[in-house]
């Protein structure tokens, strides 16, 4: 398993949540606590200020402070989301965090891109904005970003931009895309990039079997994700699926768009990784019914995975 | 459990696949066979010629022939998908199938609708087109249909159009929407409609607990769906979740957009319900890797559910 | 100027409106009248059952009856819009109208297509559906059809499908696209197709100068369009622009999405080309304010173009 | 004509371009020059850092510097575009520019909003972010912003948020929307807001007649826009249309999405209002063919409007 943020990277990059106090201020103590939590979960890297890190709700100064704090706290590579509607903001944030010691940045595309050429050209301009020496992750997430990239387009971007070292794969469905990219790599028709999978981990069992190097997602049990990736790497297929299947009911529940982040923060709070599950406004919160469903799922999971044995919620 | 297609309907309406021969001709014998298969699975109704019934690939005569055959074959209510870009085609197909004895029709909205008023007005025009005496299902499926309906918009449509008897709920996430609609019904702020859930059944465990009357989906184990709805109705919550969780890995695999229909038809063929898993062109087919994944999921499922114990695939 | 519907075609193909009585029935007498009107306007062809021909509001029998009537009435080539969500309906209508003597068909793409490969592949399947011997027009209309085609994608479609003889160009902005396609043609990097321009004619003055062969649009003064194309062909640039500019205020008013068809039908009725300006439901109608604006624009136009000197509206 | 930025505001707010040197640096001297140019054109206000002000290409410091410079340079009200994907950035820019003396801000919605409630709620959150005391313009621009607002939704936003003083109306088509809003105002069913029209001015002739208070657009002849608004206000209808029609061929050419800004900057450079027509990357530039077309349109316009009599371009 590679220790660095490069085209060989594997394992799990946790998509970090941003902890807030109930009144909406950033909870810096919880930033430390969850950083430690991720590290202890065995992740190989951290991705901060992504979509589910509530980055658009942070101003520049807050974003930089959080990045600085996480980077100081861990020796693991830290990747920072810098997607922005304009290249000026992308450049500014990218420079700030690279100066602070970030390992690289992650870039997702704006929804206006339609044709293959528009997509390829936009990423070229993004690289020109951040500078050709900054390693970066290409985020392929059509469900949310509204941009559809064929394997051929990904190859063009990877070929045009040597600083692209990783694909955050979250196309849906996407198993054949992984197989195609890995086949091209074997045939030397495309250089290698690391492929880590997002989409809440909903297909991670098979994605890793298809050739993905691991996960980049924020599921509230990152320790399960790292164990799963290890089992697959060791060829212990049935055990990997047993573990995955035990988590799938909760994982699926957390993967719901919109409300999923509330579930994730709630479970992380229940596990003691953050002090408060609040989102900065505007954000969804869990209804009583939803909270009870999460407790039920945790209780069921606890019978199969000791990690889910939590203290009961105070009434 | 209601036997009729009305606002009290419950249980499972199977979204029927349309069987084809390998050369693309409709396989009428398999139409009979799968109709019997659904009936024996305990469903309370059938929905034919939906999106996953490959309806747009059928010409009018074929569509009418299939509808006639299914309606003759079963005494269960048969609902027919009549969504169309224009009201003329919708009216024509609706009249044809109602004359043949269909219980009602299902209508989904075109992607151009944006504002609340546009949506409400369009459904009013659709009802004017098919006639106010034809009972119909409102399909709420933003992921595919691109139209987002608030609970308030659904209430307006239901109130304006007494012939709307059922909601095919497949918003995602959608648990709170069910709770809101059921709350309004209890408060007599909205008349009752049957709510059956689609979206491949991915949240059926909780949807039924939130007040849905059952499922309208095409998962290849409709017998599991009917058993699940029964367990929930009988208050056997843990058993319901045990059953659901056993199927979730396969159910999730089948729920993938695009490729999911190929999985579904393949499993239905493996279960003997249709002779051939071909889709009429254009359609996705399973790669060898995907087929092996489905076999693996079936084998794992077979350990927990005898229904999945199938003859091995011929090499 | 070519007389046939082929890759050399030039001049104006009128996008024909479909006349209805006030009660929504097809007005067959006006179908004849407007066919004659278009012919007398000097058009080189007719395109019927397009988006602005209210085709989705017609059932199959009505569509076929109208096509038959227009085809019988004129010796000019008649192209029929056959865009449909499914290939079965597209094939059925295409066969019917080709049997009746249509010169060819027009095909626009569904909004779900995103990547270059998806677009190219979909048109290949469409050609397979209608048969490789049916000449057809490729409609490139991103504003309404939601599909964006680069010049390269158009070249791939044209190259893959020898039966594609014409491009209905209505990208916006699109002048450089015309220049690119014509440059490729001159360099023998792409075979010739006829390029006729839509988009209500809003850029026809420069489109023809960039190499378009004429217009395919439904502006209520087709006689102006044919005169304009002739002036450009004869190199009488200033006269062409003088004519165009005189019409631009009204032409722009008619080009408004949604309400534009009501303007167009109203002016055609004012010119005596159809008996009634009603649209079949659902359709926009002109408010009193809008009708007065159209009258004002006609009165202003009448000072510069005698064709606009109409009888006053009855109060 | 109101001198302030409030619900009575009328006249023309120029959407200001941001001048750059050929190498992409902000051209501060031209910022001054074009500010003076707009003032001399008779505008009643300025809107800076809008979509066509290339705002997303500016970093925060540049944006603030430009705003400060323009605000210092003129006593006219200056409105600043603060649309951003997140409320943190919106709040930060809004505070900065209000501190500098801006009259207010302009807010457009993100493309993800679909239902009426989502739109109303989002604007409420935006006002909470910038503070309830900051006067602001509601931008209604579906063609670019992808959000469709009914008159009823606009009324809800205006009613909920007393700090909303102006509507930038650029729905298309939108004449009836203006009439509806003004009718509600007359019936006291909605409080008054100023309505200024965008969309490049393409319908300004009739929009002002329908009750709009003027224009907020960046057409390169703002002096024509101010004259037009004055003629309409004085009831000199035919003269207003004569003036408008003379400009319509160029105005339409400039209104093309994407390439339009290049046309606008080019004409402003030709008129001496900025030193260089370059856009910061990424931006469209004019081909030789397009530049020649603009020259031709200017030459034709010069025959009818002396303002267009410019020095010939150096070869």
pLDDT at D59: 87
pLDDT tier, A3 (very low <50, low <70, confident <90, very high otherwise): low
Q: Identify whether the C-beta of residue B164 lies closer than 8 Å to the C-beta of residue B157.
A: yes
Other CB atoms within 10 A of residue B91 CB: 20
Residue D124: enclosing H or E segment and its boundaries?
A: helix D116-130
Q: For B152, which residue in chain D has the nearest alpha carbon?
A: D117
Distance of CA C286 to the CA centre of its chain: 22
**Mean pLDDT of all residues in chain B?**
96
Nearest CB to D125; choose among A89, A111, A282: A282
Look at A117 and C148 and tell me if their CB atoms are within 8 Å. Answer: no
Confidence (pLDDT) at B211: 98
In angstroms, the CA C177 to CA C260 distance is: 25
User: Do the beta carbons of residue A140 and residue A166 sit within 8 Å?
Assistant: no
Residue whose tokens read 């009144």: A23
User: Which residues lie below 8 Å from residue B50, measured CB to CB, with a gap of 6+?
Assistant: B15, B16, B81, B106, B218
Q: Is the distance from CB of C46 to CB of C77 less than 8 angstroms?
A: yes
Q: Which residues does A303 contact at the CB level (< 8 Å), separation at least 6? A: none
Contact by Cβ (8 Å): D32, D73: yes
Mean pLDDT value across residues C13-41 = 97
- From the list D176, D249, D293, the residue facing C248 with the nearest CB is D249
Q: Which residue of B56, B87, B92 is in closest CB contact with C88?
A: B56
Question: What is the SS3 assignment for B215?
Answer: strand
Residues B254-311 have pLDDT tens digits of 999 889 999 999 999 999 999 999 999 888 899 999 999 999 999 999 999 999 999 8
Mean pLDDT of chain A: 95
Number of alpha carbons in the 13 Å side-chain half-sphere of residue B157: 32
Q: What angle do CA C113, C141, C227 make, to 5 degrees?
A: 160
- Write phi, then psi, for C226 (nearest 5 degrees): -70, -35
Return the structure tokens found at D164. Answer: 């909303």
Cβ atoms B12, B229 nearer than 8 A: yes
CB contact under 8 A, D116 and B149: no
d(Cα C3, Cα C11) in Å, to the nearest integer?
A: 9
| Confidence bin at D315 (pLDDT 50/70/90) | low
| DSSP letter (8 states) at residue D53 | G
Q: Which among A59, A122, A125 is the nearest to D88, CB-wise?
A: A59
**Residue D216, H or E segment:** strand D214-217
Angle at D145 between CA D143 and CA D147, to 5 degrees: 90
Q: Which tokens sit at A257?
A: 């768009």
Q: Please count the residue pairs, one from chain A and one from chain D, whose beta carbons lie less than 8 angstroms apart.
A: 58
Residue C114 to chain A, least CA–CA distance (Å): 6
**pLDDT over 90 (residue C60):** no
Per the CB < 8 Å rule, is D173 touching C259?
yes
With contact defined as 3+ CB pairs under 8 Å, the chains touching B are A, C, D
Residue range B42-54: mean pLDDT, rounded:
94
Contact D136, D106 (CB under 8 A): yes
The pLDDT of D237-249, averaged and rounded, is: 98
d(CA B87, CA B291): 40
The answer to whether D86 contacts A62, with C-beta atoms less than 8 Å apart, is no
A152 pLDDT above the threshold of 70: yes
Q: Which residue has the tokens 């579906």?
A: D142
CA distance A298 to A72: 33
Contacts of B149 in chain D (CB under 8 A): 115
What is the rounded average pLDDT of the residues D77-98? 94
Residue in B57, B191, B169, B163 with CA at minimum distance from that of residue B105: B163
Cross-strand bridge partners of residue A81: A106
* Distance from the B245 Cα atom to the nearest Cα atom in chain C, whole angstroms: 33
> b/e string for D62-94 if b means 16 or more Cβ within 10 A?
bbbbbbbbbbebbebbbbbbbbbbbbbbbbbbb
Q: Is B229 helix (H, G, I), strand (E, B) or coil?
A: helix
- Contact C117/A148, CB-based, under 8 Å? no
Interface check for D87 against chain A (CB to CB < 8 A): the answer is yes
Interface touch D88/A58, C-beta < 8 Å: yes
State how far the Cα of B6 lies from the Cα of B233, in Å rounded to an integer. Answer: 19
Confidence (pLDDT) at C121: 97
For residue B149, the distance in angstroms to the closest alpha carbon of chain C comes to 20
> d(Cα D93, Cα D55) in Å, to the nearest integer?
11
- pLDDT exceeds cutoff 90 at A120: yes
Contacts of C293 in chain D (CB under 8 A): 175, 206, 209
Over residues A79-98, mean pLDDT:
93
Q: Distance (Å) from the C-alpha of residue A160 to the closest C-alpha of chain C?
A: 19
Phi, psi of D50 (to 5 degrees): -85, -175
Distance CA B311, CA B292 (A): 14
3-state secondary structure of B53: helix
Confidence of residue C315 (pLDDT cuts 50, 70, 90): low
CA distance C12 to C38: 10
ipTM comes to 0.96
> Does C198 have pLDDT greater than 80?
yes
In this predicted structure, the answer to whether residue B1 has a pLDDT above a threshold of 50 is no
pLDDT band at A312 (very low <50, low <70, confident <90, very high): confident
Q: Is D258 exposed, middle or buried (0-12, 13-18, 19+ CB in 10 A)?
A: exposed
Q: Which residue of C has its CA nearest to D173?
A: C256
Closest-CA distance of chain C to residue B237, Å? 40
**Residue D238 in contact with partner chain A when CB distance is under 8 A:** no
Type and span of the H or E element at D117: helix D116-130
pTM of the model: 0.96
Separation between Cα atoms, residue D84 and residue A59, nearest integer Å = 11
Q: pLDDT tens, D27-37?
A: 999 999 999 99
CA distances from D235 to C303, D192, D230, D239 (A): 21, 22, 9, 9
Q: How far is CA B121 from CA A179, B66, B125, in A?
A: 46, 31, 6
Neighbours of A211 (CB within 10 A): 16
Percent of chain B whose pLDDT exceeds 70: 98
Whether A32 shows a pLDDT value over 90: the answer reads yes
pLDDT of residue C1: 44
CA quadruple C258, C260, C263, C269: dihedral sign: negative
CB pairs below 8 Å between B and C: how many?
58
Contacts of C122 in chain B (CB under 8 A): 282
Report the chain B residue with the minimal C-alpha distance to residue A253.
B203
Question: How many Å lie between the alpha carbon of A158 and the closest alpha carbon of chain D?
Answer: 20
Length of chain A: 315
Handedness of CA B156, B196, D118, A286 (dihedral sign): positive
Nearest to A172 among B176, B209, B256 (CB): B256
- C85, C92, C128: residue with CB nearest B85: C85
Give me the mean pLDDT over the D306-314 stretch: 88
Cβ of C125 within 8 Å of Cβ of B282? The answer is: yes
The 10s digit of each residue's pLDDT in C275-313 is 999 999 888 899 999 999 999 999 999 999 999 999 887
Mean pLDDT, rounded, for A74-81: 97
Distance from CA of C146 to the nearest CA of A (A): 10
pLDDT at A1 > cutoff 50: no
Which parts of chain A are beta strand (E)?
11-15, 45-48, 78-81, 104-107, 136-140, 164-169, 194-197, 214-217
Residue from B109, B112, B114 whose CB has the most chain D CBs within 10 Å, to mutate: B114
- What lies within 8 Å, CB to CB, of D22 at 6+ separation is D276, D278
Give me the phi and psi of C169, to 5 degrees please.
-90, 115
| Portion of chain C with pLDDT greater than 70, in percent | 98
Q: Which of C87, C122, C281 faces B57 most closely, judged by CB atoms? A: C87
Of B259-263, C158-162, C242-246, D53-57, where does mean pLDDT reach its minimum? D53-57
- Name the DSSP class of B272: T
Question: Is C88 an 8 Å CB contact of chain B?
Answer: yes
Cβ contact, residue pair A88, D128, below 8 Å? no
Q: Is A66 within 8 Å of A31 (Cβ atoms)?
A: yes
Q: Is the pLDDT of residue B25 over 50?
A: yes
Considering only CB atoms, B248 lies closest to which of A209, A210, A248, namely: A248
Which among B56, B89, B128 has CB closest to C59? B89
**pLDDT computed for residue A143 by the predictor:** 92
3-state secondary structure of C115: coil
Report chain D's C-alpha Rg in angstroms.
19
CA distance C196 to C184: 17
Inform me whether the pLDDT recorded for B85 exceeds 90: no
Q: What is the mean pLDDT of residues B37-43?
A: 98
- The model's pLDDT over C172-190, given as tens digits with 9 standing for 90+, comes to 889 999 999 999 999 999 9
Q: Which of B115, B152, B153 sits opposite D148 (nearest CB)?
A: B115
Chains that touch C (3 or more CB pairs under 8 A): A, B, D
Per the CB < 8 A criterion, the answer to whether D243 and D204 are in contact is no
A110 has a chain D CB within 8 A of its CB: no
Instruction: Calculate helix-pair angle for A28-40, A222-233, nearest 10 degrees.
Output: 20
User: Residue D1 — pLDDT band, cuts 50, 70, 90?
Assistant: very low
CB pairs under 8 A between B and D: 22
Nearest-neighbour CA in chain C from A104: distance (Å):
28
Residues 6+ apart with CB under 8 A from C84: B56, B85, C90, C93
Averaged pLDDT, A5-19? 98
The torsion region of residue D235 among left (phi > 0), alpha (psi -120 to 50) and beta comes to left
Q: Residue B47 in 3-state DSSP?
A: strand
Q: Which of A54-58, B76-80, B309-313, D40-44 has the lowest mean pLDDT?
A: B309-313
Q: What mean pLDDT is predicted for residues D58-87?
A: 94
Query: Sorting pLDDT into bands at 50, 70 and 90, what band is B315?
Result: low
Hey, are the CB atoms on D148 and B116 less than 8 Å from each other?
A: no
Average pLDDT over residues C246-268: 96
CB contact under 8 A, A175 and B293: yes
């Amino acid at each position: 398993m590679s220790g660095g943020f490069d085209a060989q990277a594997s394992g799990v990059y946790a998509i970090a949540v941003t902890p807030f106090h109930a009144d909406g201020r950033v909870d810096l103590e919880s930033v430390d606590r969850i950083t430690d939590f991720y590290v202890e979960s065995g992740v190989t890297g951290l991705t901060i200020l992504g979509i589910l890190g509530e980055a658009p709700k942070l101003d520049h100064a807050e974003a930089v402070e959080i990045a600085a704090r996480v980077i100081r706290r861990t020796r693991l590579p830290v990747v920072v989301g810098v997607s922005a509607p304009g290249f000026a903001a992308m450049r500014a944030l990218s420079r700030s965090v690279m100066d602070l010691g970030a390992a690289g940045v992650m870039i997702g595309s704006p929804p206006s891109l339609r044709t293959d050429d528009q997509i390829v050209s936009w990423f070229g301009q993004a690289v020109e904005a951040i500078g050709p020496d900054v390693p970066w992750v290409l985020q392929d997430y059509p469900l949310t970003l509204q941009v559809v990239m064929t394997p051929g387009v990904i190859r063009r971007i990877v070929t045009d931009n040597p600083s692209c070292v990783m694909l955050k794969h979250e196309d849906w469905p996407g198993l054949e895309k992984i197989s195609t990219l890995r086949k091209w790599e074997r045939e030397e028709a495309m250089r290698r990039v690391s492929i880590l999978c997002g989409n809440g981990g909903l297909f991670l069992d098979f994605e890793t079997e298809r050739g993905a190097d691991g996960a980049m997602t924020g599921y509230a049990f990152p320790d399960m994700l790292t164990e799963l990736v290890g089992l697959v790497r060791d060829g212990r297929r049935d055990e990997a699926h047993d573990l995955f299947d035990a988590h799938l009911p909760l994982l699926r529940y957390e993967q719901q768009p919109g409300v999923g982040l509330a579930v994730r923060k709630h479970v992380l709070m229940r596990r003691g990784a953050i002090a408060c599950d609040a989102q900065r406004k505007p954000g969804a919160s869990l209804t009583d019914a939803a909270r009870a469903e999460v407790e039920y799922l945790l209780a069921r999971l606890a019978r199969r995975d000791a990690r889910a044995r939590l203290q009961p919620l105070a009434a």
